[in-house]
Structure 1
Amino acid sequence: MVKPTTIRLIFALAAQFKWSLRQLDVKNAFLHGILQEEVYMAQPPGFASVTHPSNYVCKLHKSLYGLKQAPRAWNERFTSFLLSLGFQVSQADPSLFIQQSSKGTVLLLLYVDDVILTGNSTQLINEVITALTVEFEMKDLGLLHYFLGLQISYTSEGLFVSQTKYINELVDKVGLQDSKPCATPCLPYHRLLKDDGKPYHNPDQYRNVVGVLQYRNLTRPDIAFSVNQACQFMHNPMISHVIAVKRILRYLKGTSTYGIHFKPEPLHLQSYSDADWVGDPNDRRSTSGFVVFLGSNPILWALKKQHTVSRTSTEAEYRALAITAAELAWIRQLFCDMHIPLHSSPLIYCDNVSAIALSTNPVFHAKSKHIEIDYHFVRERVTRGDLQVQHVSSTDQSKKYPNKWLVCTIISAPLQQSDA
């Protein structure tokens, strides 16, 4: 399945180059897969052979729904056909296929049985659609408007992507349609505790709702930190955790029309990296956070608790820096696969002077030997010129982004649909 970052990157490129986005749907996708293994099944009721008794079985040549081999068989069949059309598989994302010729470039995204096509040649796109329709039973849905819960609307300045319908359905599902909206997804500087209050009586419901909220992060970086906190208590949720999740849902209810506006911007990657040193009161581990922009379009954001306790703020910030550098290297590989040049090296903004010094200073001090792997990883890319690291003061960052250490607030305020 295609990665969410790849989807957002394609949206940003489509807005930049004014490419059209076409959508196809494969009918009964798993029935197209050809099995490489020997698989047998009992004769289905109502279709038993007249000439053979019931103890005979059927040998399958193609996959069926329910077989564990079905997804792989379908993917192999579809991939092999695209390769015969001249497509190449991206090294960074196996669900992204690129066809480049003297006539132009076509990009294809595959998500199980949903296909998105875009590129700089309408003729090539139509030829690919014709070839796919001949080989597979497909339905051409025309211009992309709805994909995996994403609503795509087209403006004079680019694309506006939101999840309004998906959010409203979730709020109705949990019975909060009459609740009062909240102005923020969580209380400022409030952290959830693992043993705060009484256990929740229905942990399965909690896991289901939080799992669905993770999918809302496709277009809502403003809830990333709040959802990240809620995900840490899946095994034993407390009533206080449920209250925090309800606050997220009430916030989404009042901001269901918010989304991301992808606009034409220079092809320049810049990111913000940060960490809250020993910020988790439960285990005193730090949380790394970052956001990556293509121009001013956010294409990747994430929060992740660090695996070990950081002994210094420099270590916590440098681990966040290393994670951001790894993601930027992956995005650069995507651009290389698509044969799209970047105008300059990616840039990381960090508010920790010591962490920046480590990325450029070849002298390795005894106090920082325990982060040697991350040091060499970032340092190597800075030396080669693949990456730039610059300082942004905490004062400036806090003025522009009030809760500076929450990566979700690094993104500019979500746009109303009317503002798009």
Structure 2
Amino acid sequence: MKQLPGFVDKQFPNHICLLKKAIYGLKQAPREWFSTFSSYLIQYGFHSSSTDPSLQLFHHNSVQLYILVYVDDILLTGNSSEIDKLLYALHSRFSMRNLGPVSQFLGLQITPTTTGLHLAQSTYASSILHKASMVDCKPVGTPLPNKFLHDVKSDALYKRPEHYHRLTGALQYLTITRPDLLYAVNFLCQHMHLPLQSNYNMLKRVLRYVKGTLSLGLPIQPSSLQLTGYADSEWAADHLDRRSITGYCSFLGHNLISWIVKKQSSVARSSTEAEYRALSTAACDLIWLRRLLAEFQLLQSEPTKLYCDNVSALTLATNPVFHAQTKHIEIDAHFIHDCIRTKQLSVHHICSQDQPADLFTKSLSSTRHLQLRHKITIQPSIVILRKADKDK
């Protein structure tokens, strides 16, 4: 560290300080803190997750403990009274506060319900509306209009690009519990480098949708522990570069746990190719989820089912014979072949009308958007009112 003003050594003014302890606020401080904390947990008996470096796991006989660390915010859970013993050990080594049962974590509101938990970010969403001066705006039923054309030549640049950047970046974090916003936010993020006035108008429409759906979030309820995935794509969705959009979501039982919206890296020559690339993208995420669940001792004994609504793409995924129509596809897109051959995944057909990943590939009508939003289990939190005591 450079010598502080007023404390410069006159004999060695160009020397720097060798730190023996990390100072809060420096770039290396979070890394040093995590290294110190994780080293102590490893001595206690934990081991680091190979799929998520911020996750620490403890397994001994029937005792299971899990710690998730994000800088100085720590989430601890387990199935035994061993938690109290661990908390005592942590308090004796570190200056920490036990905040009790989780209610908030990194801006996420975690509300107990009669059937499980409800994850939401209504307070954070309200702060975004306040920053945009749209607290009293009129709500709309969908994030984006059903059909719209983007004419770059006749559109003017937005005069406050930094304002567009802040609001769009804030909406990105909101998609942690609001996957119904993901396609719209992905569209807005594609214009971060040069936002136009029409892009800002779209941003305001997304905020109007947020205004009318502040209470929405993701429920977590007891269900089966079977992992399933759904992959879809919209061929040549972007009218400027003609690239397709990949949409994917996965469920653990009835609980939505993962979702992706991504523009494909190259132009697909057919809808089959676009769907095939979406399958490969989904396969990568499902393999990672299978490994993560295995570390939670939730082994997936059967091949994970991956659903797609394109019969030709399913045929291409299961048929190892390459021909002239597929030789231009990159090798990484054929990753799904090995997943099927090793029986980690199995691909199945689903009707387009029942495809939940359709929500992540295009803007939809209000009716269709509401139908798919319900299908991926997004719902408002249920507030349970207790009857007032008669003596009060």
TM over 0.5: yes
Once residues 257 and 78 of structure 1 are traced to their aligned partners in structure 2, the CA distance between those partners, rounded to angstroms, is 36
Q: Give the one of 382, 387, 390 matched to 1:418.
A: 382
Classify 1:119/1:65 alpha carbon distance in 2 versus 1 (closer, same or farther; 3 Å): same
Aligned match for 1:186, one of 110, 130, 144: 144
Distance in 1 separating the partners of 2:235 and 2:173: 27
Work out whether 1:90 is the aligned partner of 2:54.
no
User: Are the aligned partners of 1:95 and 1:109 in contact in 2 as well (CA < 8 Å)?
Assistant: yes
- CA drift at 1:43: 5.2
| Paired residues of 2:290 and 2:299 also in contact (CA < 8 A) | no
Match of 1:174 in 2: 132
Distance 1:204 1:343, change over 3 A: same
Pairing partner for 1:70 from 14, 25, 29: 29
Q: Can you list the C-alpha shifts for 1:280-311, whole angstroms capped at 9, x where unaligned?
A: 00100001110111111111111110111001
Is structure 2 residue 199 aligned with structure 1 residue 241? yes
Aligned twin of 1:22? none
Deviation at 1:360, TM superposition (A): 1.2
- Aligned residues: CA RMSD: 2.5
Structure 1 counterpart SS, 2:242:
coil
Indicate the residue corresponding to 1:213 in structure 2: 171
Mapped to 1, the partners of 2:135 and 2:26 lie a distance apart of 39
State the match for 1:222 in structure 2.
180
CA spacing shift, 1:193–1:298, aligned 2, 3 Å: farther
User: How has the CA–CA distance of structure 1 residues 396 and 43 changed in structure 2, closer, same or farther, with 3 Å as cutoff?
Assistant: closer
Correspondence for 2:162: 204
1:300 partner SS: strand
Please tell me whether the aligned partners of residues 247 and 357 of structure 2 are also in contact (alpha carbons under 8 angstroms): no
Paired residues of 1:103 and 1:124 also in contact (CA < 8 A): no
Structure 1, 76-85 or 234-243: larger mean CA deviation: 76-85
Task: Judge conservation of contact 2:260–2:360 (CA < 8 Å) in 1.
Answer: no
Which residue of 45, 60, 65 corresponds with 1:101? 60
Preserved contact between residue 95 and residue 111 of structure 1 (Cα < 8 Å): yes
SS in 2 for 1:342: coil
Q: 1:223-302 counterparts in 2 under 5 A?
A: 223-302=181-260
Q: Tell me which residue corresponds to 2:328.
A: 370
Specify the alignment match of 2:3 in structure 1: 42
Q: Which residue of 2 aligns with 1:9?
A: none
**Alpha carbons of 1:253 and 1:271: their partners in 2 closer, same or farther (altered >3 Å)?**
same
**1:37 maps to what in 2?**
none
Q: CA contact under 8 A between 2:225 and 2:252: conserved in structure 1?
A: yes
Task: Note the alpha carbon deviations across 1:46-105, whole angstroms, 9 max, x for none.
Answer: xx69x9999697542111123222122112111111111111111111001100001411
Conservation of the 8 A alpha-carbon contact between 1:63 and 1:73: yes
**Structure 2 portions without partners, runs of 5+:** 385-392
Structure 1: runs of 5+ lacking an equivalent: 1-39
TM-score by length of 2: 0.89
Preserved contact between residue 48 and residue 57 of structure 2 (Cα < 8 Å): yes
The answer (yes or no) to whether the contact 2:249–2:357 under 8 Å persists in 1 is: no
Preserved CA contact (<8 Å) 2:247 2:360:
no
Give the TM-score, by structure 1 length: 0.83
The percentage of counterpart residues that share the same residue type is 40
Between Structure 1 and Structure 2, how many residues are aligned? 375
**Which has the larger share of strand?**
1
- Give the whole-Å Cα distance in 2 for the aligned partners of 1:115 and 1:380: 38
Q: What is the CA distance between 1:344 and its match in structure 2?
A: 2.9
Change over 3 Å in CA distance of 1:281–1:253 after alignment to 2:
same
1:304 aligned to which of 236, 245, 262 = 262
Pair 190,245 (structure 1): closer, same or farther in 2 beyond 3 Å: same
